[in-house]
Structure 1
Amino acid sequence: MSVLVYGIKNCNTMKKTFDFLEEKGVEYQFVDYKKQKPTEALLKGFLKKTNLDALVNRKGMTYRKLSDTEKEASQNSDTAIPLLMERSSMIKRPIITYPDGSLTLGFVPEEIEAKL
């Protein structure tokens, strides 16, 4: 099985994810948001499978540094998508997409393993 992993390479959570997948012998392709910004189509695709609250990482430093206006914009998908495209560090990491079209958000080994 091969999966697609989205995130930021230097993130500790991503390192755990890569180690986990390699330990399980899972082939993966990695899309680094810092090298390939997320597109509107990609984010809308994610939002068809999850909700905005799950997609936005509200615990991270990028989110905490936003102005109140930007934080408010992150509550609505129409205004959140451009914000997430510009500040990809606000997207929950990792997002893993599976051959069946499903996805998981965050590093939750039990959830990932259940999809493999």
Structure 2
Amino acid sequence: MNIQIFGTKKCNDTKKAERFFKERGIKFQFIDMKEKGMSKGELTSVASVCGGLSNMIDENAKDKDAIALLQYIADEDKLEKLMENQHIIKTPVVRNGRQATLGYQPDVWKKWE
């Protein structure tokens, strides 16, 4: 398994995801989205697995303006805007090769083992 966890240090669900993999002795790479973020390829890959860019948006994020903007702009512009505003993506984003999840989903991760 090649696990990557994209999240923030303050996110409780990200901490729970890290704990989930640590408890099972599974190595993972943590990427702090406030420092680095996701590349365009990673974002596109996760979006294709998780049902599109609109599913990646956290409706409870603090930046309501960015959320509203992404809902109303043209589909071809959404990827660029989401690249600029990665702080509104649901965290953690957990990747295992071509597989990916949004949020805390231990039931899915158990199937990866």
Distance 1:88 1:67, change over 3 A: closer
Paired residues, number: 112
SS at match of 1:66: helix
Q: Structure 1: which 5+ runs fail to align?
A: none
1:27 alignment partner in structure 2: 27
Question: For each residue in 1:74-103, what CA deviation from the matched residue of structure 2 results, as whole angstroms up to 9, or x when unmatched?
Answer: x73x2222222122111111111114x211
1:92 corresponds to: 90
Residue 5 of structure 1 contacts residue 94 of structure 1 at CA under 8 Å; is this kept in 2? yes
One-letter identity of the residue aligned with 2:61: G
The 5 Å alignment of 1:54-65 reads 54-62=55-63, 64-65=64-65
Separation in 1 of the partners of 2:101 and 2:93? Answer: 6
Aligned to 1:21, the other structure's residue is in SS state helix
The Cα of 1:17 is off from its aligned counterpart by: 0.9
Q: How far does residue 27 in structure 1 lie from its aligned partner after superposition?
A: 0.6
Deviations 1:8-59 (A, max 9, x none): 2221111111111111211100111111132222212222222223211122
For structure 2, the residue ranges without an aligned partner over 5 or more in a row are none
Q: CA RMSD in A?
A: 2.1
Distance 1:22 1:81, change over 3 A: same
1:83 to 2:84 alignment = no
Structure 2 partner of 1:112:
109
TM-score, L = length of structure 1: 0.80
Amino acid paired to 1:38: M
Residue pair 1:8, 1:89 contacting (<8 A) in 2 also = no
Cα separation, 2, equivalents of 1:56 and 1:70: 9
TM-score (normalised: structure 2): 0.82
Instruction: Work out the CA distance in 1 between the residues paired with 2:10 and 2:67.
Output: 25
Counterpart CA distance in 2 for 1:56 and 1:68 is 10
Correspondence 1:47 to 2:44: no
